[in-house]
């Protein structure tokens, strides 16, 4: 059985590391403010590149990007206004709407993504070698695959 103290220590280390890295990344000059793409906008664009056809319903997107639906709705409105996303009727449910990544949205994601990936590699590479990164990736995936409630 897992020690409660050790589990809490592991959680705190993971949580504080993630928060520290997010702050670091948010402050970096990798985003495209001229395109209206900051950290949260990038997260939405990136997430849509990982789903089939760059299409998702708002609820599914909200679960994936970990934003409350009202906040995500406002962010999506801005991305639609900028031409980075489009809304289309959901072919599976005509009452619903699907968000679709546009060509401009894909281009913005790729542009920012290259710079962000380099920043991630630099930040993690300062402290972890490839074996460490593989272990970290696999441990995080193991917890995610457990589908915690």
Per-domain boundaries in the chain: 31-146
| Each residue's pLDDT expressed in tens, for the chain with a length of 149 residues | 679 999 999 999 999 999 999 999 988 888 877 778 999 999 999 999 999 888 999 888 988 897 888 899 999 999 999 999 999 998 888 888 999 999 999 999 999 999 999 999 999 999 999 999 999 999 999 988 886 55
CA dist 97 and 88 (Å) reads: 6
CA dist 30 and 37 (Å) reads: 10
Write down the pTM of the prediction: 0.85
3-class DSSP state of 103: helix
Token readout for 74 is 């406002």
What CATH number is given for 31-146 in this structure?
1.10.10.10
């Amino acid at each position: 059985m897992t020690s409660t103290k050790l589990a809490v220590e592991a959680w705190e280390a993971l949580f504080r590391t993630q928060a520290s890295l997010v702050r670091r990344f948010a402050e970096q000059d990798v985003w495209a403010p001229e395109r209206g793409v900051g950290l949260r906008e990038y997260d939405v664009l990136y997430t849509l590149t990982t789903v089939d056809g760059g299409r998702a319903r708002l609820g599914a997107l909200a679960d994936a990007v970990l934003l409350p639906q009202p906040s995500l709705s406002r962010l999506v409105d801005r991305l639609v206004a900028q031409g980075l996303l489009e809304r289309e009727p959901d072919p599976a449910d005509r009452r619903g709407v699907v968000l679709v990544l546009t060509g401009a949205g894909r281009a913005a994601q790729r542009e920012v993504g290259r710079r962000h990936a380099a920043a991630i590699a630099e930040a993690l590479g300062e402290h972890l070698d490839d074996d460490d990164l593989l272990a970290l990736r696999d441990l995080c995936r193991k917890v995610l695959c457990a589908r915690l409630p």
